[in-house]
Amino acid sequence: MPLRAHLVELRRRVVLASLGILVGAVVGWIFYDPVFEALQRPILQVAQERDTVVSINFAGLATAVDMKVKVAFFIGLIVSSPWWIYQLWAFINPGLTHKERVRVYGFLAAAVPLFLGGAAFAAAMLPNAVRVLTEFTPDGATNLIDAQTYLSFVMRFVLAFGLAFLLPAIMVALTLGGVVRASTWARGWRWAVLLSFTFAAVMTPTPDILSMMLLALPVCALYFIALGIGLLHDRRAARGERVVDV
């Protein structure tokens, strides 16, 4: 397929993925109230535990509307994840043989649970993150958290975890599609481990090393599992080429 055709196909997949997110955002708009209550709950729990003022502050006239739109699209991104992950697969799909497509379907089926699992892991850690970060508020002071700032923090927190857990599925898809050889991933394993621990250190606000390890080790394990699958695939492919040459 020529470069122009690849770019046209990429644009088509991006448009389809965007439409899916837009449909998901409509669902997010409908379910905004219970989702916002869930987002606000960690802050309310901290305020109750410490018997102090900790709350979300809507500073501007249109902030509440803007918040609802952003939360709707955030929900849409999560809800539509099976659709836009499929679009990523569909873009790679034409370059695969029938046998490779059958293999990738299995890994594609793992991509959505991995992304949602990472997002759920972040959601489970969010109350603890809020509790630790608000502990720096001096005694007698109030903590009025800007709604936009809080939402941006939650979105980055959840999406970062989701994408980190999704990375192994993307690695496998790129390797089976012949886009990146497994040896390339293997050469970068030290950087992958370093980035995993750096990511864990940044995204876990608690100062203890246990919390960092609980995030970094699963990400590293998923990376090496994906690397092993890629190396196995490349070895079989090379063996098949030698048989054909003979």
For residue 244, what pLDDT band results from cuts at 50, 70 and 90? very low
Residue 159 has pLDDT above 90, yes or no: no
What is the model's pLDDT at position 245? 47
Q: Which two tokens stand for residue 191?
A: 């950087």
Nearest Cα to Cα of residue 71 among 119, 118, 25, 117: 25
Out of 19-28, 31-40, 195-204, give the one with best mean pLDDT.
19-28
Computed from CA positions of residues 84, 89, 94, 98, in that sequence, does the dihedral angle turn out positive or negative? Answer: negative
Q: Is the pLDDT of residue 167 over 80?
A: yes
- Show the tokens assigned to 209: 């090393």
Distance, in Å, from the CA atom of 163 to the CA atom of 161, rounded to the nearest integer, reads: 6
Q: pTM surpassing 0.75?
A: no
Decide: 211 and 132 in contact? Cβ < 8 Å.
no
pLDDT for res 29: 93
At 174, which amino acid appears?
L
Mean pLDDT, rounded, for 230-241:
77
> Rounded to an integer, what distance in angstroms lies between the CA atom of residue 25 and that of residue 31?
10
* Mean pLDDT to the nearest integer, 75-96: 80
At residue 219, φ and ψ (nearest 5 deg) are -65, -45
Going by the DSSP 8-state scheme, the letter that residue 138 receives in this structure is: P
Maximum separation of any 2 CA atoms in the chain, in Å: 81
Instruction: Label residue 26 by pLDDT band (50, 70, 90).
Output: very high
Q: How far is CA 95 from the centre of its chain?
A: 25
Q: What is the mean pLDDT of residues 109-121?
A: 86
Residues 47, 41: Cα–Cα separation, whole Å: 10
Is the pLDDT at 1 greater than 60, yes or no? no
**Confidence class of residue 22 from pLDDT cuts 50, 70 and 90?**
very high
Q: Which helix (H) or strand (E) holds 189?
A: helix 189-203
Q: Facing residues of 145 across strands?
A: 56
